[in-house]
Structure 1
């Protein structure tokens, strides 16, 4: 399956609130944080585990240890991904963080993306890199950001996290990086003439920061 849908009922509830045009910026931002945490917990299910024996105050118990939590790198696309990443970090508190600032540019009806700041930690072969951007629309921005990741090294896993994706964005990413894993809460069918997802939820950055 090219994209894995986070169908947790609370994630879908939060998405409904985020889509609603009457949701204010503070609640919108809080919703993205909560959604990031849920997505993080769903991602944690895909990590390998080992059984360990520990001592409680009253005796022995067998529990689980999640392998690789100290090998997570989260790369956020400024500025829209900031609340989403705040939630992801609650699920992966040991994660190293990277930042890529991108700006859409439209010339003659053609949408392109400029990267004007990039700071990604060195990536090792056993690292799990999570690239977060609320909207995977055309896939152009995500592709540029993934290029920045691979300039820093070759990760063991590359995971793209979005709230809403489109078939176009998914195809663009997977056509170049077929081993990438894409997680989204929904896949919407189309883009409008401004390359915004329809029905989508509007401009995530503008709605989160009231601009």
Structure 2
């Protein structure tokens, strides 16, 4: 905690003055272009990963970068998605998984989740990803970790489309959904290509942007 407090002081003395004009503008509202849904894992920093500034991303985080399918029950993720899409009018939604994900380890081997029943119940939203990989290989083991991570991102993208606010914007072609997997060890990002039903490099997926 000591380092966190010192970090706040450094921000107040250095980081804030460097962006004073930006924070003055943000004090009166926000206009992010992207809703960024990712894992709560401490090793993931969306702003650091995307080299973005405060105000650029509307960020939602939880164990396993989960988007529960829409239901009549109100939850934090449902409300945040609705707000981002309807009120903030974000143009893009990124669902970003990552390597060495503890939640996906729980999907592969749920036997250790009895002590954390809420986590176990939450990861029920990822169960289909595990079942898909199990059907592919005939079993589900730690060696299939990356497959489960990718399958889970695709599954959460499908869940996202069940939310009425998102469905409306998709029909109007006012929002795009992106599936990412971030590799912690090498800093690379893979992107889901729906036409190929496969994850490709960031450079391949966004060649038109990177080439500019």
Q: What is the TM-score normalised by the length of structure 1?
A: 0.28
Give the helix-richer structure, 1 or 2.
2
Q: What is the TM-score normalised by the length of structure 2?
A: 0.28
